[in-house]
Amino acid sequence: MTIKSEINLNSPSSEYLSHLSIDCVVFGFHENQLKVLLLESNFFEEWALPGGFVRHKETLEEAATRILQERTGVDEIFLTQFRVFSDPERKNPGFKPDSMQKAGISMENFDWLNQRFLSVGFYALIEFSKVNPQPDLYSSKCEWKNVEEVCSLMMDHNEILEAALETLRLQLRYQPIGYNLLPEKFTMPELQKLYETILGRELDRRNFQRKILSYKIVKRLPERRTGVAYKAPYLYSFDLDVYNRALTDGLSGDW
């Protein structure tokens, strides 16, 4: 749960549901590396996942979409709810009355923020180039970080990140991935590198290409990647009709 800029500082309970928050793991893919979007707190000296609270007349999905639109500037976001985090002791030890007062938060609202929150985890897949990271009022930075280089995060956010990554790996077994992470045109090696980065291991090039083509979720374009030192590879794009059916009907086979 990251304190949000739109919190009603006079009376958060009048606008938001008590004891319920949302934490979002935003994945991107850039320069053959899996990225995650993080916020640096102004006064906790920790990085955190984007998050916030649920308004009284919002669904969980509407709240998560609103939160991520504010942090990324992207309107159409692929969101998946993956877990609820409910440890009875999940509180932020960095919540201190003096630091809250410096941020303009009253003691009454400090008590509201310092209560136990159940957090609903969502993960989002967003094309890296479309994101314009925006910190909230209580964060100094909002940046992409390499997943492999993420250090200690606020509260249980490392656990949330790892759970989202594991869910993403499981999804590869029965659903296509790539449309929300790659540009419109891409090469087969770029798609394979995305899968390898998520899975954390290498895949056989011929087997990967044969399996992807058998799913018919991609179509080869009559053009090649230019400006490369080696033989220019063909470009591909996703066949969205087949891709979307695969999201619903599923794919067979493991990686």
What DSSP letter does each residue of 7-64 carry, written as one string?
--SS-GGGTEEEEEEEEEEEEEEETTEEEEEEEEESSS--EE--EEEEETT--HHHHH
According to the model, what pLDDT value does residue 89 have?
81
Rounded to whole angstroms, the Cα distance separating 76 from 69 reads: 8
| Structure-token match 């007349």, residue found | 57
According to the model, what pLDDT value does residue 114 have?
76
According to the model, what pLDDT value does residue 229 have?
65
DSSP for residue 232: P
According to the model, what pLDDT value does residue 7 have?
52
Structure token pair of residue 42: 């102004």
Q: What are phi and psi of 56, to 5 degrees?
A: -60, -35
Q: What are phi and psi of 238, to 5 degrees?
A: -80, 140
CA–chain centroid gap for 7, Å, is 22
Put residue 241 in one of left, alpha, beta given phi > 0 → left and psi -120 to 50 → alpha: alpha
Radius of gyration, alpha carbons of the chain:
20
According to the model, what pLDDT value does residue 64 have?
97
Which pTM does this prediction carry?
A: 0.88
According to the model, what pLDDT value does residue 2 have?
47
According to the model, what pLDDT value does residue 32 have?
92
**Measured CA distances, 238 to 47, 69, 80 (Å):** 35, 25, 20
Rounded to whole angstroms, the Cα distance separating 86 from 169 reads: 23
Structure token pair of residue 116: 């136990």
Among 33, 31, 28, residue whose Cα is nearest residue 200: 33
pLDDT, averaged in runs of 10, over the chain (255 residues): 48 84 97 96 85 95 96 92 92 64 66 85 96 86 95 94 96 90 95 95 95 96 83 93 92 77
| Structure-token match 């749960």, residue found | 1
Domains along the sequence of the chain with CATH: 12-171 (3.90.79.10), 186-249 (1.10.10.10)
